[in-house]
Each structure stands twice: as C-alpha cells, then as structure tokens.
C-alpha cells in the first residue's frame, strides 16, 4: 500500500492562483436597523420601537446588511450538481443553483452573509419581474430612497439586455425604450413607451451576479494546518436577504426541514 505524500501547500496555492476565477469579496455587517436588542424594544425612537427594523434607510437599500471593505480575491468555483458536491444537496445545505467557492489560502476568513461578486457576467435565470415605478407608489413614496419615477431597481449590475416584455405582451427595445444605469443598478425608461405605473414586466438580462455566503463556511484542516475554506454561495436574489430575523440558527433549521422533505 502506498501512503500518499504530505500536502504541498505552496503548490496547492499556486494551483488556486493559476486556475481560479477573480471575484470581488465584501464583508457583511448587520445594518443598525436590524437591531434585535430586547431592551431597545422598550424604547421609542422617532415614534418607533428601538428594535423595530427601519426600512427608510439609504445605506443598504432595505436589505438589512451593509457591505464593506471590497477587495479582489481569487478562488475555485464549482457548481452544485447531481454528481459533484451531491452530498451538499442530500444534507440540505444547498439547493440547485448554488455553488462552492474555494478561496486562496492567503485570503482572510470569509464569514456568514459576506458577498462575492463574479467579474464575468451571466444570465439572471429566467429574468427579473419588476413592478413599474413601485418605489414611488402609495406609501413607498414616503421612503427615503433615490429612485426616480423613470427608474426601477435591478437585482444586479446589468451587463447586456436580452428581452423585456410586460404583462400585456408589449415588448420594449433596449436603447430606444430603456437603457441601464450600471452605477445604480437601475433600468432607466427613456420615452413615452414604457409600462404604466403598477404594471408588471419581465426583464431578462445578463449581469455580474452577487452571491451570499449562506451556510457558515467550512474550515478545512489537516494535522493542524489550514487548507483554506470551502464556502457555500447562494445568489443574492434567492437568498432571503430581506428577512430581518435571519440567523445562522434559523438557517440550520431551514436546512434540516429541506432535508426531511426532499428525496433525491
């Protein structure tokens, strides 16, 4: 029986650097409006309970997290499939569409809810359904946001348009009817031809997808030496970023429930 040799850690890091993808890593911090302090619940601050989520916040877009310290990082990206990483599906840690990210061993530790943005655009599933001018309708008009009446918010930084059609089957053309504001993640309507306020439409486009570190990242060790992390990622729009009660404990419960009802 041949005993395999020891890990060549420099060679492992060289493999990651030469075969990996470049991404943008941002650290997640809980936004102050996610305050869960029980004592704060006894206080009234600006006519609301001190631990009540404040959706009128311009720093995080109402997601409940703020992302800081953006930096480039390298790592190996592996899609969750029926063959590779199948055990993650069977255990309930992942769902189809998730992926595994193995970062450089020289990178700092990735934590819960951190954001990874791919630098190569990909198609946003079957498209994003948007309600025209929803940000400025009814009570939303009183929120402190910077979305103009001729704009709608997108999930991701757009790269290329693919198709745009409303609930009535009217098709809209990029460059004539609408364009993109990549800095603000917006679709911008240019002229008179656009869906009426409150009308739903679907925009299919490619974008620079953002992923959230969903399950607590795995730390891989061998004889006390770190072999780097193994991070499970979920698309930002699939991950329930708007749930202000989302915690690692709650996610474990959801993962167990997913396992119990799923047969693969």
Verify that 177 and 240 share a domain, yes or no. no
Verify that 107 and 37 share a domain, yes or no. yes
Give the model confidence (pLDDT) of 106-136 as tens digits: 888 899 899 999 999 999 989 999 999 999 9
Whole-model pTM: value is 0.74
Give the model confidence (pLDDT) of 18-44 as tens digits: 888 899 999 998 877 665 665 655 665
Verify that 228 and 239 share a domain, yes or no. yes
Cα 166 to Cα 177: distance, rounded to the nearest angstrom = 13
Verify that 93 and 222 share a domain, yes or no. yes
Cα 255 to Cα 251: distance, rounded to the nearest angstrom = 6
Which of these ranges, 17-21, 182-186, 243-247, has the smallest mean pLDDT?
Answer: 243-247
Give the model confidence (pLDDT) of 53-83 as tens digits: 555 555 555 667 889 999 999 998 887 665 5
Domain containing 237 equals: 9-120+210-261
**Domain's final residue, options 208, 228, 249:** 208
SS3 228: strand
What's the rounded mean pLDDT across residues 196-204? 97
- Residue 262 pLDDT class (50, 70, 90 cuts): very low
144 in Cβ contact with 57 (< 8 Å): yes
Instruction: Report the phi/psi class of residue 46: left, alpha or beta, with left for phi > 0 and alpha for psi in -120 to 50.
Output: left
Verify that 22 and 113 share a domain, yes or no. yes
- Residue 257 pLDDT class (50, 70, 90 cuts): low
Cα 51 to Cα 23: distance, rounded to the nearest angstrom = 35
Considering the domain boundaries, does residue 1 fall inside one?
Answer: no
Cα 125 to Cα 204: distance, rounded to the nearest angstrom = 8
Tally of domains in the chain: 2
Q: What is the pLDDT of residue 239?
A: 73
170 in Cβ contact with 195 (< 8 Å): yes
Verify that 103 and 144 share a domain, yes or no. no
225 in Cβ contact with 9 (< 8 Å): yes
Give percent above pLDDT 90 in the chain. 40
Q: In what order do the strands lie in the sheet with 186-189?
A: 151-153, 186-189, 178-181
Q: What is the pLDDT of residue 182?
A: 95
More confident residue, 217 or 206: 206
Verify that 236 and 138 share a domain, yes or no. no
DSSP label at residue 250: H
Verify that 203 and 220 share a domain, yes or no. no
Considering the domain boundaries, does residue 2 fall inside one?
Answer: no
Considering the domain boundaries, does residue 4 fall inside one?
Answer: no
The pLDDT mean for the chain works out to 79
Cα 208 to Cα 53: distance, rounded to the nearest angstrom = 29
DSSP label at residue 165: E
């Amino acid at each position: 029986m041949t005993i395999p040799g020891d890990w060549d850690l420099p060679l492992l890091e060289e493999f990651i650097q030469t075969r990996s993808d470049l991404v943008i890593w941002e650290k997640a911090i809980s936004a102050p409006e996610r305050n869960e302090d029980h004592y704060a619940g006894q206080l009234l601050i600006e006519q609301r309970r001190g631990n009540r989520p404040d959706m009128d916040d311009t720093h995080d877009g109402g997601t409940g997290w703020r992302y800081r310290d953006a930096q480039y990082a390298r790592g190996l990206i592996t899609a969750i499939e029926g063959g590779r990483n199948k055990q993650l599906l069977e255990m309930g840690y992942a769902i189809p569409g998730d992926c595994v990210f193995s970062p450089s061993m020289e990178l700092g530790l990735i934590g819960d809810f951190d954001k990874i943005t791919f630098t190569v655009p990909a198609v946003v599933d079957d498209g994003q359904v948007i309600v025209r001018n929803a940000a400025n309708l009814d009570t939303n008009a009183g929120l402190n946001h910077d979305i103009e009446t001729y704009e709608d918010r997108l999930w991701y930084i757009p790269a290329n348009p693919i198709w745009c059609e409303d609930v009535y089957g009217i098709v809209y053309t990029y460059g004539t009817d609408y364009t993109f504001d990549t800095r603000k993640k917006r679709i911008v309507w240019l002229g008179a031809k656009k869906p009426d306020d409150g009308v739903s439409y679907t925009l299919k486009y490619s974008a620079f997808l953002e992923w959230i570190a969903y399950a607590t990242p795995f730390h891989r060790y061998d004889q006390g030496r770190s072999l780097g992390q193994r991070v499970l990622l979920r698309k930002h729009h699939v991950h329930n970023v708007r749930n202000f009660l989302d915690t690692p404990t709650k996610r474990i419960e959801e993962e167990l429930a997913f396992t119990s009802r799923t047969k693969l």
